[in-house]
Amino acid sequence: MLNIPTMPTLLVAAVPIDTNFSILDPRLMLAIGSAELLIAEERKNAVRLLASCGQANKPFILINEHSTAGDRANALNMILKNKITAFVSDAGTPCIADPDYVLVDMCIRHGVNIRAIAASSSITAALSVSGYPASTFSFLGFPPRRVEDRDTFFNRLAGLRQTAVFLERPYALKRTLEDMKGFDRQISLSIALGKPNEQNIRALARDMLPQVARLKETFAVVVPAKL
């Protein structure tokens, strides 16, 4: 069972990279079955995927590299009118060098709850729900523990000219947000990815602290490029 808030929710769902839809992750099938609408990349694969999930009659729309601003605005309006919408690409995880982080960004700005579904990697899952471009990105691993080394790590991160993602230990959430209080742009914080209590928050690090400082969960952080 999916634990979904009452607000409109976009399920960013990973599909098999080999496009073998005869064997699907049960979480993906549950997400598509629960959704009132599917947003897909290409018609052929959308039809195949829905049929494999026993949802051949479910409505779907397409968002891809040919989509216009008007197409995305229409998709956003439909997402806001539904309780649950599933979003998939042709293969793999949406928004990783793939359409369409812009739509996810629009959803975040309009208060839509974003969830990662059937992800096999916390790195790509965090990127896919961030709403930030990921045609190229830097993965920075885990921040060092020593204060001096952490200062170097976060100073480097603050100046990167491409989207960056890093992971951190559950007990270090407050410390990490404290280290990022001086960042001049919003970050995307993904907590407990893939679990029923998953949270994805995008805000300034200093504004997140009162909300999540006491949590003890695995998390990933995505930082947009410095402009």
pTM given for the model: 0.92
Q: In what order do the strands lie in the sheet with 199-203?
A: 138-139, 164-168, 219-223, 187-191, 199-203
Single-letter residue type at 133:
P
- Per-residue pLDDT at 1: 61
Distance, in Å, from the CA atom of 60 to the CA atom of 50, rounded to the nearest integer, reads 9
- Per-residue pLDDT at 133: 95
Q: Which residue has the tokens 């970050």?
A: 187
User: What are the angstrom distances between the C-alpha of 222 and each of 59, 94, 139, 187?
Assistant: 32, 16, 9, 6
Residues 6+ apart with CB under 8 A from 54: 29, 33
CB 38 within 8 A of CB 68: no
pLDDT averaged over consecutive 10-residue blocks of the chain (227 residues)? Answer: 79 91 92 97 95 96 95 98 96 86 97 93 96 95 95 95 95 95 95 92 95 89 94
